[in-house]
Amino acid sequence: MVASETQVETPTLYFHRAGVCLHLVDVPTNSKAGTPKCPQLVPLSSPELRSFELDLLSHTYSHKAPFATVRTPMQSLSVTMHFPAELAYTSEGSEIRLLCHEPLRRVRVLPSYTQFHSGIRVYHIALIPDVSFSEYDLIKLIKLYGGQEEGVTLTDKVAFSLEEGRQIPLMELVGKAFEKESVGKMPLVAATVEVVTENAESLSFNWQVLWDIINLIPTNKKQAIVEIDKLLRQQDSSGKVVKALSGIVQGIFNFEKTDAAELVDVLEPTVGETAGLMRMHKGTLLYLCQEDRAFEACYHTLGVSPYLLTPHAVLLHNEAVTSKGEELLNEAQSKKSLGKQENLYAEAEHRLNGELLPNVFHYSTERLLFERGFISRGLSDRLNAKLRQSQAVATRIEARQQQKQRRSDCLIQLFLGILSSWAAGEVVFKLLDTTTVWRWLLAGTVVAVAVAAIIVVHLVAQRR
């Protein structure tokens, strides 16, 4: 496809306080398939993060946390990020060429991970700017793991150079940051993005006006469309700012064509905030806010607020548990061996019932974020489908167990019948004083009848 249009990046926004935390999920495999895992020991959270996690958890879980977030020994890396000077994306059937005249950014890389009782580990690799991130920078970072909507994923197109100057791809950087090459081979699955608008360069935009409109969306969408349309019609930069924000939320470059009705759908909050936007859009949890004390406290350790990272990590953990449960149930359905089917079903039940974390949070914001994220990420639908599949597998296993029991009962009865026949034959032999030949002939007949009966019983049991 030949590019029908060429665009040059012309940012409207420059955020001096912004963090993009990419997530990878490691699901350990059992040494023996079908064997439920025992709960894993969870290390203590890093000291600077422990108070936040204990504050987040409800009373029941604060005494024995089901997870812990830990900083790695290599606590940060200073690197130069190399965006591609040119890329192509597809929008509305056309290929668009996007040019970037300033592709280099100095960033700090902050690695950490959250370890769960289930043995699952969610790795976090946060990127924070030395100077600022524009809306285009944030969209590109989101496209490190996404990008399906516009047909471009930048995982292999963004490079990083350390002090020695050699450029390395993102996943090699990830392996280096965690000092574990295998982590760099895991796929990126999601991101937590936090942006503080205070002191942002946005041509004197009145952020509170936008926050008020966003808070109007859940209760009066029609009026919100009217108010957004007014912003778009203003002669200042308001329309550009709103559209740029919609691009960040969706992770798309072609945000200039978004109209008022589409903007209202895109900017509808997952959880309402007085001065900000908290939204979960597919794999991205985004929080735009005027200020955030927890974010500032953890800016140089996690890169985002722990009040965002932790609920998102729990959702990613539950997604991984659900996926593993699906895999085990699908495998159980395909097995012919009843024993293997029973083992796989037992492990699937253990995963879905024993490892799936409930809403462990104390505060209403995090509780709502967990509940609505569960729905928006499709987890509730997947779990309902798996419940139906689990019931179908359980019914099939029960039917096969009953079939096996009937076969065993028939064989026992047949064996007892053969013993009775043999005993009766012995009595007849003694009464008739038959010869040895006739004895063996009669015994052979009894055995032949017994074998034929066993085959018949086996076939009948299989048909039931």
Helix (H, G, I), strand (E, B) or coil at 214: helix
Same domain, 288 and 407: no
Query: Quick one: pLDDT band at residue 33, thresholds 50, 70, 90?
Result: very low
pLDDT at 410: 66
Q: Answer whether residue 392 shows pLDDT above 60.
A: no
pLDDT at 355: 83
Six token digits for residue 112: 């950490």
pLDDT digits (tens, 9 = 90+) for 209-251: 999 999 999 999 999 999 999 999 998 889 999 999 999 999 9
43 is a domain residue: yes
Q: Answer whether residue 15 shows pLDDT above 80.
A: yes
348 is a domain residue: no
Same domain, 18 and 164: yes
Q: Answer whether residue 1 shows pLDDT above 90.
A: no
Number of domains in the chain: 2
pLDDT at 138: 97
Task: Return the percentage of the chain with pLDDT > 70, whole number.
Answer: 72
221 is a domain residue: yes
2 is a domain residue: no
Overall residue count recorded for the chain in this entry: 464
Query: Pairing state of beta strands 77-82 and 86-91?
Result: unpaired
Domain range for 176 is: 11-79+107-139+155-317
Mean pLDDT of 71-86: 91
pLDDT digits (tens, 9 = 90+) for 409-441: 666 766 666 666 656 656 655 665 555 655 566
Same domain, 416 and 310: no
Q: Answer whether residue 458 shows pLDDT above 80.
A: no
The set of residues, in sequence order, having a beta carbon less than 8 Å from that of 355 and lying 6+ positions away, is 117, 118, 120, 321
Please count the other Cβ atoms lying within 10 Å of the Cβ belonging to residue 286.
Answer: 24
Final residue of a domain: which of 284, 317, 350?
Answer: 317
Same domain, 420 and 280: no
Same domain, 412 and 313: no
118 is a domain residue: yes
Place of tokens 């470059």: 253
Same domain, 413 and 307: no
Query: Quick one: pLDDT band at residue 48, thresholds 50, 70, 90?
Result: confident
Same domain, 114 and 243: yes
pLDDT at 34: 47
Same domain, 57 and 202: yes
Final residue of a domain: which of 317, 336, 364?
Answer: 317
- Kindly report the backbone phi and psi dihedral angles of residue 122, in degrees, each rounded to the nearest multiple of 5, phi listed first: -105, 115
Final residue of a domain: which of 259, 282, 317?
Answer: 317
pLDDT digits (tens, 9 = 90+) for 295-353: 999 999 999 999 999 999 999 999 998 888 777 776 666 655 665 666 666 666 666 67
Residue 19 near residue 193 (C-beta atoms within 8 A): yes
Query: Pairing state of beta strands 167-169 and 121-129?
Result: unpaired
